[in-house]
């Protein structure tokens, strides 16, 4: 520490010798000299009451309120101060032990004080904001001598959906105590970023629902919908063109009055839209004692032409694939992404928000609800859209091959293996997205390896001497209750928590109301166009039948029924209700037979195992071939009937033929 003091003395007194300090400290010192900072005393500037209201009464900082107790507890545990500053270096939160809070007041580390380098010289707060990266500043590394008896560590908090600087979290303590590792500050900042993202997407779903309720009131006027960060969630195309902005731009509100959370009132104010200041009528939307966004009605005088109600695409989400012949292309079936029911719209909005970050996503829903389609939608709307999307069914990979399939192996690892080795799916999907379907079927012993990949972002191919870094976005899906499985010990709880950061629940078809009608009509039109066959359909009789059916196979079953209905009536000019009832009856019978086979015959098979191994082998062979016969030779359906993995079915069939 004595050496640093000597280097500080020489530099601040104008010695031309290059000081022997860390690069980031030297850069900060040089900026301080440029700003003309007093080397003896830091001088944080306190905002005026008007500036404080403008800078600190931000809705975005109310996101952090649920985290304040946790931050305070950590401050007490580590015996340090924890402060949060905005992107300008203005303190918005500070807490810690009483003795240190007294010291914070002495140092003017208080809410509303600007601790940027321009006022306080080199500190972890100012340097982290300038360098936009985590940094620690200890004792005499501070530019001002008044701060030489403390240490501070800062980590950056990024804005949700972007890598832009949003806030900085700083931990500060006496130099007499050992400084806290920078990793603690980084972990805390990641926790806050995760919290911001989670709250943001639930807020947006609420905002969209409110917007739909109120939309009729604004149908003849140009209006916008923004969240509390100023992100444009909806804006008519004419307005975007008029003001030369995109939905990536932000809207700010000038002269906002104090708003009552109990009875928020519509108010008049100016907004900044692109390079223009526009008068507007603004309605705040409140949720859980927080302002989460605004519906903004622009003054007609600022619109060059009448603006129609450019709706939010709430009526129908239809994702269209981009044609490509490269490995990175993703083929889509847009039909599964159609819908307007509240539950479906909510899931779609969550998927949109998930696409704007790289957090793990867990898609939850019954079989046939379209989990892979949602995964592809998230990928194609993310920054990784031009990279590889790889889908893997965890249930279809033999247990012995899971590690080599996912992580690959080095050349010569196995007898007879290729000299070049083989890349695993994670490496093939590097920089892109990997979709792990049926994650609940992943063998327990492999789950720990996957957890390490998610935490360390590196893989260990079989036979490798060192890890290989990977940058892969992970989307997992399951139709099982992973939380229950984790409590039963069948699924690692730590992996469940790591995957469950951004869960999205896909509603079953029976809960999607009129989406059944939308989808069925779309499927009928799709197959009719393909076959160039357009029969007459009595929709008044057909639709009630569709609504009264439970659709256990969800959208996948609905599509199958629509296709079968057309295919079986190619010789008819009109499709009648009885035709649909016949198909649904057969479908129900198939489902019941499958369940009967699954329950009864497997129970018989299990009881036979304990008696005669030879008879079991013969019975097992008959059972497997019976399942194949019932499913028309479809191995996937046969495996499902038997309650085994498809790979198990193939392995046994190979034995039977040997």
pLDDT of 456 > 90? The answer is: no
Q: How confident is the model at residue 318 (pLDDT cuts 50, 70, 90)?
A: very low
Strand partners, 291: 286
Distance from C-alpha of 514 to C-alpha of 340, rounded to nearest angstrom: 8
Question: Which tokens go with 142?
Answer: 């501070």
Mean of all residue pLDDT scores within the chain? 79
Cβ partners under 8 Å of residue 459, min gap 6: 407, 408, 424, 426, 427, 453, 467, 468, 470
Residue 607: predicted pLDDT: 40
58-68 pLDDT, tens digit per residue, is 444 566 666 77
Model confidence pTM above 0.75: no
pLDDT at position 328, please?
A: 34
- State the pLDDT confidence band at 429, using cuts at 50, 70 and 90: very high
Give me the pLDDT at residue 19, please: 85
> Whose CA is closest to 161, among 235, 230, 243?
230
pLDDT mean over 533-542: 84
Do 134 and 185 form a contact (C-beta atoms < 8 A)?
yes
pLDDT at residue 554 greater than cutoff 90: yes
Phi, psi of 43 (to 5 degrees): -140, 75
Q: Which residue has the higher pLDDT, 61 or 194?
A: 194
Express each pLDDT in 569-594 by its tens digit.
888 888 888 888 888 877 665 565 54
Q: Measure the CA–CA gap between 86 and 69, rounded to whole angstroms.
A: 20
| Per-residue pLDDT at 590 | 58
More confident position, 178 or 154: 154
Mean pLDDT of 195-204: 77
Query: Which residue is associated with the tokens 């008007």?
Result: 50
In 506-588, which ranges are E strands?
Answer: 536-537, 574-575
What distance in Å separates the CA atoms of residue 413 and residue 403, rounded to the nearest whole number?
13
Least confident of 41-55, 99-113, 316-330, 385-399: 316-330
At residue 418, the pLDDT reads 57
First and final C-alpha spacing in the chain? 76
Q: Which two tokens stand for residue 203?
A: 């807020």
Cβ contact 488:447 at 8 Å: no
Tell me whether strands 91-95 and 81-86 are parallel, antiparallel or unpaired.
antiparallel
* Among the ranges given (58-72, 273-287, 512-526, 591-605), the one the predictor scored with the smallest mean pLDDT: 591-605
Tokens 């003309």 sit on residue: 36
| Segment (H or E) for 640 | helix 635-642
**Is the confidence at residue 101, as pLDDT, over 80?**
yes
pLDDT band (50, 70, 90) for residue 237? confident
H-state helical runs in 303-383? 342-354, 371-380
Longest dimension (CA), the chain: 97
User: What band does 262 get if pLDDT is binned at 50, 70 and 90?
Assistant: confident
pLDDT bucket at 47, cuts 50 / 70 / 90: low
Helix axes 371-380, 342-354, angle to 10 degrees: 40
* Residue 28 · residue 127 · CB < 8 Å: yes
Residue 317's pLDDT is 38
Q: Residue 202: pLDDT above 60?
A: yes
Structure letter (DSSP) for residue 139: G
Task: Give the model's pLDDT for residue 620.
Answer: 56
**Residue-range domains of the chain with CATH:** 2-198 (3.30.450.40), 219-302 (3.30.450.20), 334-507 (3.40.50.300), 508-571 (1.10.8), 576-658 (1.10.10)
Residue 269, pLDDT > 70, answer: yes
Q: What does the pLDDT average to over 518-534?
A: 84
What is the pLDDT confidence band of residue 55, given thresholds at 50, 70 and 90? very low
- Which pLDDT does position 617 carry in this prediction? 47
Overall residue count recorded for the chain in this entry: 658
Q: How confident is residue 619, by pLDDT bands cut at 50, 70 and 90? A: very low
Q: What is the mean pLDDT of residues 598-623?
A: 42
pLDDT surpasses 60 at 597: no
Region 476-486: what's the mean pLDDT?
Answer: 92
């Amino acid at each position: 520490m004595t050496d640093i003091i000597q280097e500080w003395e020489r530099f601040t007194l104008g010695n031309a010798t290059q000081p022997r300090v860390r690069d980031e400290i030297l850069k900060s010192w040089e900026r301080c000299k440029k700003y003309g900072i007093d080397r003896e005393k830091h001088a944080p500037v306190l905002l005026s009451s008007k500036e404080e209201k403008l800078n600190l009464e931000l809705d975005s900082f109310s996101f952090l309120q649920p985290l304040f107790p946790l931050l305070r507890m950590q401050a007490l545990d580590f015996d340090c101060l924890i402060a949060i500053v905005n992107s300008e270096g203005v303190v918005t939160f500070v807490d810690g032990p009483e003795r240190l809070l007294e010291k914070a007041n002495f140092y003017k580390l208080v809410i509303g004080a600007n601790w940027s380098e321009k006022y306080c010289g080199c500190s972890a707060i100012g340097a982290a904001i300038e360098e936009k990266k985590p940094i620690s500043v200890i004792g005499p590394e501070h530019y001002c001598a008044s701060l030489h008896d403390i240490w501070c560590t800062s980590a950056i908090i990024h804005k949700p959906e972007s890598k832009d600087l949003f806030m900085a979290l700083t931990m500060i303590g006496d130099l007499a105590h050992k400084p806290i590792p920078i990793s603690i500050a980084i972990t805390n900042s990641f926790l806050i970023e995760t919290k911001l993202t989670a709250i943001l997407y639930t807020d947006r779903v609420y905002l969209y629902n409110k917007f739909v309720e109120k939309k009729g009131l604004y149908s003849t006027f140009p209006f916008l919908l923004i969240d509390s960060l100023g992100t444009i969630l909806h804006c008519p195309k004419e307005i975007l063109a008029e003001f030369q902005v995109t939905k990536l731009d932000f809207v700010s509100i000038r002269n906002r009055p104090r708003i009552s959370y109990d009875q928020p009132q519509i108010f008049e104010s100016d907004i900044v839209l692109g390079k223009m200041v526009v008068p507007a009528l603004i309605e705040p939307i409140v949720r859980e004692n927080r302002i989460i966004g605004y519906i903004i009605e622009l003054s007609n005088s600022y619109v060059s032409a009448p603006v129609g109600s450019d709706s939010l695409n709430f009526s129908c989400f239809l994702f269209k694939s981009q044609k490509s012949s490269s490995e990175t292309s993703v083929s889509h079936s847009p039909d599964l992404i159609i819908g307007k029911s509240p539950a479906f719209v909510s899931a779609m909005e969550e998927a949109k928000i998930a696409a704007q970050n790289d957090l793990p996503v867990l898609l939850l829903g019954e079989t046939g609800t379209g989990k892979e389609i949602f995964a592809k939608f998230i990928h194609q709307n993310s920054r990784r859209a031009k990279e590889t999307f790889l889908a893997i069914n965890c249930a279809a990979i033999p247990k012995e091959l899971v590690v080599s399939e996912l992580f690959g192996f080095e050349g010569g690892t196995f007898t007879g293996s290729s000299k070049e080795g083989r890349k695993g799916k994670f490496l093939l999907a590097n920089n892109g997205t990997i979709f792990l379907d049926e994650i609940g079927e992943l063998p327990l012993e492999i789950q720990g390896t996957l957890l390490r990949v998610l935490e360390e972002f590196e893989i260990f191919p079989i036979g490798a001497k060192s890890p290989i870094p990977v940058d892969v976005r992970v989307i997992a899906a399951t139709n099982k209750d992973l939380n229950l499985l984790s409590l039963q010990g069948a699924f690692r709880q730590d992996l469940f928590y790591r995957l469950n950061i951004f869960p999205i629940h896909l509603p079953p078809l029976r809960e999607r109301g009129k989406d059944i009608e939308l989808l069925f009509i779309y499927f009928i039109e799709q197959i009719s166009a393909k076959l160039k066959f357009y029969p007459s359909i009595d929709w008044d009789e057909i639709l009630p039948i569709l609504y009264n059916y439970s659709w256990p196979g969800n959208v996948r079953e609905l599509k199958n029924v629509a296709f079968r209905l057309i295919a079986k009536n190619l010789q008819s000019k009109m499709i009648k209700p009885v035709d649909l009832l016949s198909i649904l009856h057969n479908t129900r019978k198939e489902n019941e037979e499958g369940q009967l086979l699954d329950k009864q015959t497997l129970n018989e098979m299990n009881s036979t195992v304990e008696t005669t191994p030879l008879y079991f082998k013969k019975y097992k062979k008959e059972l497997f071939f019976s399942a194949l016969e019932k499913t028309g030779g479809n191995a996937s359906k046969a495996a499902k009937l038997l309650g085994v993995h498809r790979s198990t079915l193939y392995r046994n069939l190979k034995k039977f033929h040997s």
